[in-house]
Structure 1
Amino acid sequence: MAGRLKTGIDVLDRKLDGGLPPGCVVAYTAEPASQSELLLYELTAARGTLYVSTERSKDVIEHSFAATQAQVGSPTVRHIDADDPLEETTRLIGALPDGANLIIDTMDVLERASTDAYVEFLNALKARMVETGSIALLHCLKGRAEPENRTRTEHLADAVFDLRTNVEGTEIENHLSIPKYRVGGGPNETIKLELSERVEIDTSRDIA
């Protein structure tokens, strides 16, 4: 579809009619023990990317990019290590160029801010994505102790990508679903992915 920004992941772009619309904010939920970072890494190959890390250091992220077999670009990596992570992240987003990717890995640190401050941050982030015609992918870890503001992240997001990882006997299965896609016409079925060296469609079993 004209005007869409490709994610760089072929199977996902086909399901999304060519990619994501400019200005789109995606909440990407996944288990901590999954290979969810592979999708983040491959997104960087599509266009210029600001990769904001709230937990892993800049050196660790850059080492991961150098070691991965996935197709990656040359993202600008920044680590948030400040007393006010929302303020620092807002400052970085303010310098985002037009038509870029923004990846925040992970949102958990930011989601622990006060609700009022966090909602203000989310609205400013969305406005910046629209202003620059960029797309944002917010990496949200699932688990027993999810931050209270996770519901705000999923509510504001234009789309929710949910990665589920199951161990069945000797097989590890990864299913990506898009339960929310308010920008129109999301896929109705899950996508089985092979997450090993890179993001690929799982051809060993039928698509769910």
Structure 2
Amino acid sequence: MNERLPTGIDVLDRTLSGGIPAGSIVALVAAPASQSELLLYELTVPRETLYLTTERSAEAVRDAFERTDAPAGTPDIEQVTGEAPLDGAGRLVETLPRKSTLIVDPVDPLERCEPARYRRFMNALQTAMVNTGSVAVLHCLSGCSTPSGRDRTEYMADVVFSLETRVAGESIENRLAVPKFRGGRALSETIKLELGDRVRVDTSRDIA
């Protein structure tokens, strides 16, 4: 069995037989207005993390980590900007320590780059994850303007987390699906989550 790296989120680690296989790329697909950042915060807890921000400034992300009540690590936060974001991201990926976590938040600007260059980046990313025994988490926003490279991201990812958030009556319901899991077993059912001060299983009963 491949070595598993814990996510730091108990409910996921139990469900995924200990965590994510080392060397994997994970696509976390979620709406911009969801609490998906809470998942990202907790993913920084178990081990050294390189956090690449492509939209917000590095200062804004550091401030968010300082203000959150959720469990969070102390990642190395770097901003990827400019006309060649793939080049900047690629150089930073080369600095990744062994058995660490890489987060790209969000990956959308990279997915909008020229298709052949994005494909090369994804292949190089996969090689880097395997060589370092690390895990990469690509935060994919599922808004109105999905980037052209999204299909490639989900195809090349080893694991896909799909977070669906909807308003149900007076409450907000979050369900996490894992439709794809190379090196393991995809989940046949969604996990109902409570995203408050941390990620928990929502034990409230569904009402038809």
Aligned to 1:156: 156
Q: Distance in 2 between matches of 1:177 and 1:14?
A: 15
Secondary structure in structure 2 of the residue aligned to 1:70: coil
Aligned to 1:8: 8
CA deviations over 1:76-123 (Å, ceiling 9, x no partner): 000112220000000000000000000000011000101000000000
Q: Distance in 2 between matches of 1:85 and 1:205?
A: 45
Displaced runs of 4+ in structure 1, greater than 6 A? Answer: none
Extract unaligned runs of 5+ from structure 1.
none
Q: Distance in 2 between matches of 1:37 and 1:173?
A: 16
Q: Distance in 2 between matches of 1:194 and 1:67?
A: 20
**Pairing 1:68–2:68 present:** yes
Between the aligned residues of both structures, percent identity stands at 53
Q: Distance in 1 between matches of 2:18 and 2:205?
A: 25
The answer to whether the 8 A contact 1:101-1:134 is kept is yes
Aligned to 2:104: 104
**Pairing 1:24–2:24 present:** yes
CA RMSD, aligned part only? 1.1
The answer to whether the 8 A contact 2:80-2:89 is kept is yes
The answer to whether the 8 A contact 1:107-1:138 is kept is yes
Q: Distance in 2 between matches of 1:5 and 1:182?
A: 14
Count residues with an aligned counterpart. Answer: 206
Aligned amino acid, residue 106 of structure 2: T
Aligned to 2:143: 143
Q: What displacement does 1:203 show?
A: 1.5
The answer to whether the 8 A contact 1:15-1:186 is kept is no
Q: What displacement does 1:143 show?
A: 1.9
Q: Distance in 2 between matches of 1:205 and 1:53?
A: 37
Q: Distance in 1 between matches of 2:117 and 2:166?
A: 35
Aligned to 2:57: 57
Aligned to 2:167: 167
Q: What displacement does 1:2 show?
A: 6.9
Q: Distance in 2 between matches of 1:205 and 1:132?
A: 42
The answer to whether the 8 A contact 2:2-2:21 is kept is no
CA deviations over 1:13-67 (Å, ceiling 9, x no partner): 0110000111010010000010000000000001000000000111110111011
Q: Distance in 2 between matches of 1:42 and 1:196?
A: 12
TM-score, normalization by structure 1: 0.97
Q: What displacement does 1:3 show?
A: 2.1
**Pairing 1:83–2:98 present:** no
Which segment drifts farther, 194-203 or 38-47?
Answer: 194-203
Aligned to 2:201: 201
Which segment drifts farther, 28-37 or 76-85?
Answer: 76-85
